[in-house]
Amino acid sequence: MAKIGKRSKAARVAFEGKDLISVEDAVKLIKGAASAKFDETLEIAMNLGVDPRHADQMVRGVVQLPNGTGKTVRVAVFARGAKADEAKAAGADIVGAEDLLETIQGGKIEFDRCIATPDMMPLVGRLGKILGPRNLMPNPKVGTVTMDVKTAVEAAKGGEVQFKVEKAGVIHAGIGKVSFGDEKLAENVRAFVDAVTKARPTGAKGTYVKKVSLSSTMGPGVSLDLASAAGN
């Protein structure tokens, strides 16, 4: 059995008996227990009453966090000509067409978000088996297949977070750094919960949001009072 370190023990003691608490109290608790030597990420997990195996219960979307994620997002754009120039000017890290296709096929994936203009999708479609499992495939539903590459690149760089429900009905995302102020983290939590709530699919029956939990990268988790998470 793995040995529990002093910091882990202290964190567990601090979290003991804490359950269904307000967003503000959860943020303070997590920040106080974050003791890693790096700036940990505040992570959110939402258990939803959906079965994503059914198309009408799939939940996916995008949210622009009011205070960003604190993470440097590397953006790749499939585009040609003027749109390629537009992407570069907007701050895209990698821009290309057939050359970018070959790079990815060769196993070199040095980006966190992939954007494409609609005319490039026949080319990008060849990468479905590579980008799909990594949740990097451009998709018009989340604004990553678009002619407005400038806005898409700036949004990705500015704190936009994509979300997609996993097989078990869970959505998980990083929504800030523990070094952020308490108010900023609370705002990000509520913005994320609001976006997922608004993305409720037509096939969802009964209770949609069952549980919302917060944790830091290396710390234990705590469940939130749902009314507080919803901003009520």
Q: Which residue has the higher pLDDT, 105 or 33?
A: 105
Mean pLDDT across 47-51: 97
The pLDDT > 70 percentage for the chain reads 92
164-207 confidence digits (pLDDT tens): 999 899 999 999 999 999 999 999 999 999 999 999 999 999 99
Domains along the chain with CATH numbers: 19-69+160-229 (3.30.190.20), 75-157 (3.40.50.790)
For residue 19, pLDDT over 70 is answered with yes
The DSSP result for 180-207, as a single string, is: S-HHHHHHHHHHHHHHHHHT--TT--S-
The pLDDT > 90 percentage for the chain reads 84
Mean pLDDT across 22-40: 92
Is the distance from CB of 165 to CB of 204 less than 8 angstroms?
Answer: no
Indicate the pLDDT class of residue 35, thresholds 50, 70 and 90.
Answer: confident
122-163 confidence digits (pLDDT tens): 999 999 999 999 999 999 999 999 999 999 999 999 989 999
Give the per-residue pLDDT at 77. 98
Give the per-residue pLDDT at 178. 96
Give the per-residue pLDDT at 1. 46
64-96 confidence digits (pLDDT tens): 999 999 999 999 999 999 999 999 999 999 999
Q: Where are the beta strands (DSSP E) in 11-159?
A: 41-48, 60-64, 75-78, 94-96, 113-116
CA distance 77 to 200: 29
- Calculate ∠ Cα 171-123-131, nearest 5°: 25
Helix (H, G, I), strand (E, B) or coil at 211: strand
Could you give the maximum distance between any two Cα atoms of the chain, in Å? 59
The CB density around residue 36, as the number of other CB atoms within 10 Å, is 12
